[in-house]
Amino acid sequence: MTRKQALRTLGSLAGGFALFTAGAAHILWHRGCRRTGAAVLFSGLAADALMLVSFLVPNFPLTGKVFHRGRPGGNRIALTFDDGPRPPFTETILDALKRESVPATFFVLGENARRWPETVRRMQQEGHRVANHGLDHGILMFAGAAEALDQVEKTEAILRDAGVTEPCRLFRAPHGWLSPAAYRALISHGYRIAGWTKGVWDTANPGVETIVSRTDDILRPGSVLLFHDGWSGAGEEDRSQTAAALSEIIRLARERGLEFVSLEELMEEEGWI
In a domain, 200, yes or no: yes
Count the Cβ atoms, other than its own, within 10 Å of residue 105: 25
CATH code (residue 242): 3.20.20.370
Same domain flag for 147 and 33? no
* pLDDT above 70: residue 60: no
Residues 240, 86: contact at Cβ < 8 Å?
A: no
Which residue numbers are catalytic?
A: 82, 228
Between the CA of residue 17 and those of 53, 55, 164, what are the distances in Å? 15, 15, 45
Same domain flag for 228 and 94? yes
Cis preceding-peptide flag for 85 (omega within 30 of 0): yes
Same domain flag for 184 and 130? yes
Cis preceding-peptide flag for 58 (omega within 30 of 0): no
The domain tally of the chain equals 2
In a domain, 66, yes or no: no
Same domain flag for 139 and 263? yes
Select from 81, 74, 51 the least CA-distant residue to 63.
51
Residues 246, 97: contact at Cβ < 8 Å?
A: yes
**DSSP summary character for residue 204:** G
Same domain flag for 81 and 187? yes
* pLDDT above 70: residue 77: yes
List, in sequence order, every beta strand (DSSP E) within the chain.
76-82, 105-108, 129-132, 170-171, 192-193, 198-199, 224-228, 259-261
Same domain flag for 216 and 265? yes
Lowest mean pLDDT among 49-63, 117-131, 201-215: 49-63
Cα–Cα dist 11/9, whole Å: 5
In a domain, 70, yes or no: no
DSSP 3-state helix, strand, coil percentages of the chain (rounded to 5)? Answer: 50, 15, 35
Residues 263, 224: contact at Cβ < 8 Å?
A: yes
Confidence of residue 233 (pLDDT cuts 50, 70, 90): confident
In a domain, 9, yes or no: yes
* pLDDT above 50: residue 46: no
Residues 141, 8: contact at Cβ < 8 Å?
A: no
* pLDDT above 50: residue 1: no
Select from 225, 206, 207, 209 the least CA-distant residue to 97.
225
**DSSP summary character for residue 202:** G
Same domain flag for 177 and 258? yes
In angstroms, what is the C-alpha Rg of the chain? 21
Length of the chain counted residue by residue = 273
State what percent of residues in the chain have pLDDT above 70.
77
Same domain flag for 26 and 103? no
Domain range for residue 11?
Answer: 3-56
Same domain flag for 31 and 105? no
Same domain flag for 33 and 110? no
Q: Is the pTM of this model over 0.85?
A: no
In a domain, 64, yes or no: no
Count the Cβ atoms, other than its own, within 10 Å of residue 8: 12
In a domain, 62, yes or no: no
Same domain flag for 122 and 38? no
In a domain, 63, yes or no: no
Q: What is the pLDDT of residues 83-142, one digit of tens each?
A: 999 999 999 999 999 999 999 999 999 999 999 999 999 999 999 999 999 999 998 888
Same domain flag for 111 and 14? no
